[in-house]
Amino acid sequence: MFLALILVANLKYSVSYQPLVSIVTIVYNGEKHLEQTIKSVLNQTYSKIEYIIIDGGSTDKSPEIIQKYSNSIAYWISEKDNGVSDAFNKGISKASGDIIGLINADDWYEETAVEKVINTIEDNDVAYGNLRYWKNERKDMIVEGSHIYLNREMTLNHPTVFIKSYCYKKLGGFNKDYKYAMDYELLVRLLVNNCSFIHIPFTIANMRWEGISDKQWRNACLEVLLIKNKYWPEKKNENKIYYYKQINAIKLSKFLHKIRFHKTIKFYRKYLSPLKKRYD
């Protein structure tokens, strides 16, 4: 009987234990969507969240919007930085949580995102979920991430990724040498250092198609190639072939969009893409 009571007490402790989750948002002149991002963090069903915002010295109303919610923000600053990687590293350096999530000022979480992370991550180092894309403020499609294909391209949806803080302490933050694929380089670094990944089978975050990587897709593809060559130098020829394949696939997709062959694009994404994609 006494042993049973101990087991029940331990079970209650384990269930009630709530790790601190740090969320970092970086922004520069993002007044258009920043408030939506902030609200998506503050309205989470999981309460033990430390919210950090790094503003790159915005000249629009972004600092005013942040100030509006300052009582609910653990730390924020507005000053010039040296780019996206530098801004994220600033936020990570201020984070005291056991788990760290990153959400840009153009993106936003689902209301139960952090709760689902806590319920799934367990002893894994990295947890990631599904991402819903929006185009012209309308739902477009949901993409499931998969770390299995990281040796090919960026196959995780970075707004859905949550990483244990000790991984940053052990392996470092974002590499400032990369301007477009810095998140890919970080995830590959974790992968090759045997960090464990787990997929959360739910939509965790939302992203608009008009992000910087979409506008600068050629630069992003080139950086991905350089990163693959860095970590898998023995596959340089294979990496180069895949690079040209990816470039041509994106060109074809843009051309099909231009001539309004939308059904063809949807068919490829749904049935032929290595990542599972579905439309709402």
pLDDT, tens digit, 9 for 90 and up, residues 165-216: 999 999 999 999 999 999 999 999 999 999 999 999 999 999 998 654 556 8
31-55: average pLDDT: 98
Terminal CA-CA length for the chain: 52
More confident residue, 3 or 74: 74
Mean pLDDT of all residues belonging to the chain: 88
pLDDT, tens digit, 9 for 90 and up, residues 205-255: 999 986 545 568 889 999 999 999 999 999 999 999 999 998 888 787 776
When mean pLDDT is compared across 5-9, 19-23, 91-95, 139-143, the lowest value belongs to: 5-9
pLDDT tier at 9, thresholds 50, 70, 90 = very low
Per-residue confidence (pLDDT) for residue 14, from 0 to 100 = 43
- Max avg pLDDT among 42-51, 131-140, 242-251, 261-270: 42-51
Per-residue confidence (pLDDT) for residue 2, from 0 to 100 = 40
Per-residue confidence (pLDDT) for residue 258, from 0 to 100 = 65
pTM for this prediction: 0.87
Full set of structural domains in the chain with CATH: 19-278 (3.90.550.10)
More confident residue, 269 or 72: 72
Per-residue confidence (pLDDT) for residue 266, from 0 to 100 = 63
Per-residue confidence (pLDDT) for residue 248, from 0 to 100 = 87
